[in-house]
Amino acid sequence: MRRLLRPTGFIDSPFGHDGKVARLAGGLNWFAQVELLTVEDGRRTGAELLALEGLENRFDDDLARQWSALLAPRQPLQLGERTVRLDQPQVMGILNATPDSFSDGGSFTDAAGAANAGADMASKGAAIIDVGGESTRPGASNVWEGDEIERVVPIIRQLAGGGAAVSIDTRKAGVIEAALGAGARLVNDVSALTFDDRSADAIAASGVPVILMHCQGDPQTMQDNPRYGDVLVEVYEWLESRIAAAEASGISRSKILIDPGFGFGKTVAHNLELMNGLSLFHSLGCSVVLGASRKRTIGALSNEAPADRRLAGSIAFALKAVEQGTQIIRVHDVPETVQALRVWRGLRDQALTPRV
């Protein structure tokens, strides 16, 4: 049996609530309560809603560690010459150099066109451009490493040469090494370093940060009747184990980000449960990334709207995520999401302005 802390009771302003509220991960979100979850055999067996006053008197060592992780400010990402602060939500733009991605596959006929699209995302507010050369949509087949490298390296080289902060979306060590050589400074691995035994060593040697994402199964089979006893707890504990494995490989926890893997081996109900409980993942002490943009869950909730008609649902998920302190939102529609987050940020700034 163990207990987990999920921040809740979020409020607009901490003023006048000394000792009754806490700041989440050094960001713009303040919470007044926690949901204390009792977990046995990977399932929640109880939940207690508690105010923060006197809470620490109930802590064992595990809860004390979680509490410290909830409050600790997240260090900025140093991506080459670019610094990406994580005390506020940031947008990561999706750039797929693939013929078969679920939403934008085949959009670019050459590397220059793709790089120009990435530069446009950066100019419209994307802090990071995430370049991928292998589709990981449901049912997608593996791509040979050489083809993946050929797809992504010219794009990364042009984007990085133009000053953009670039991430490589890949599961393969050889692609990681080639992408870092071309100027990428962040690795986004949908397998959380389980696909290629060499990936962890390549990242540790380079010193770049990495995003560890949860996925049940691989892209070819992940949507074949995914099952969980308790999706929130199982994803949490799996990511906890992958963080430990990455640290054992020499990757500093301060360089690790986590992604619960919205849509990767999960039903609509699983995805919605993860979104509702997203704040739990902050107690792992890593920045949280969410990629719900244009996912099928949005279509399922809106009369099967096609992928290019899911902007409003994507923004709804983005705002739900940042309300729970998520640091990076990975999206296709950059200017629209940036605008939504700027309005959200304006509301937060006003709430956090001392009243005179």
Tokens (6 digits) for 76: 């900025």
Q: Which of 295, 296, 310, 348 is catalytic?
A: 295
20 is known as an active-site residue: no
Gap between the Cα atoms of 266 and 259, Å rounded = 14
Spatial CA neighbour of 124 closest among 86, 95, 161, 157: 95
Query: Secondary structure of the chain in the HEC alphabet?
Result: CEEEEEEEEEECCCCCCCCCCEECCCCCCEEEEEEEEEEECCEEEEEEEEECCCHHHHCCHHHHHHHHHHHCCCCCEEECCEEECCCCCEEEEEEECCCCCCCCCCCCCCHHHHHHHHHHHHHCCCCEEEEECCCCCCCCCCCCHHHHHHHHHHHHHHHHHCCCCEEEECCCHHHHHHHHHHCCCEEEECCCCCCCCCHHHHHHHHCCCEEEECCCCCCCCCCCCCCCCCHHHHHHHHHHHHHHHHHHCCCCHHHEEEECCCCCCCCHHHHHHHHHCHHHHHHHCCEEEECCCCCHHHHHCCCCCCHHHCHHHHHHHHHHHHHCCCCEEEECCHHHHHHHHHHHHHHHHHHCCCCC
Round the CA-based radius of gyration of the chain to a whole number and report it. Answer: 20
330 is known as an active-site residue: yes
How many residues are present in the chain? Answer: 356
Q: Which of 172, 296, 330, 348 is catalytic?
A: 330
Phi-psi region of 349 (alpha: psi -120 to 50; beta: other; left: phi over 0): alpha
Q: Which residues are catalytic?
A: 295, 330
